[in-house]
Amino acid sequence: ACTEGMFGHLKDEFLRGRDWDTFEEFKADLEDYIHHWNNVRRQVKLKGLTPVEFRGQALRGAA
């Protein structure tokens, strides 16, 4: 379910209404979007943490 949700956001926030002149431009923009998705975007479901922060916190708690 979370993969489908991520791809839904990707289509709505990243792909829809955009064109790229080269594959390299598309790839660079996609890498920036994925970095933002994992490292900048905070989620209420994750107690206001980014996915990377939440994962790190969970791993530290499991150790």
Domain range holding 43?
2-62
* Token pair listed for 30: 């996609």
Residues contacting residue 38 through CB under 8 Å, at least 6 positions apart: 50, 51, 52
| Whether the predicted pLDDT of 62 surpasses 80 | no
The whole-number average pLDDT for the span 22-44 is: 95
3 state SS of 43? strand
Residues contacting residue 10 through CB under 8 Å, at least 6 positions apart: 33
Single-letter amino acid code for the residue at 46: L
| Whether the predicted pLDDT of 63 surpasses 90 | no
Domain count, the chain: 1
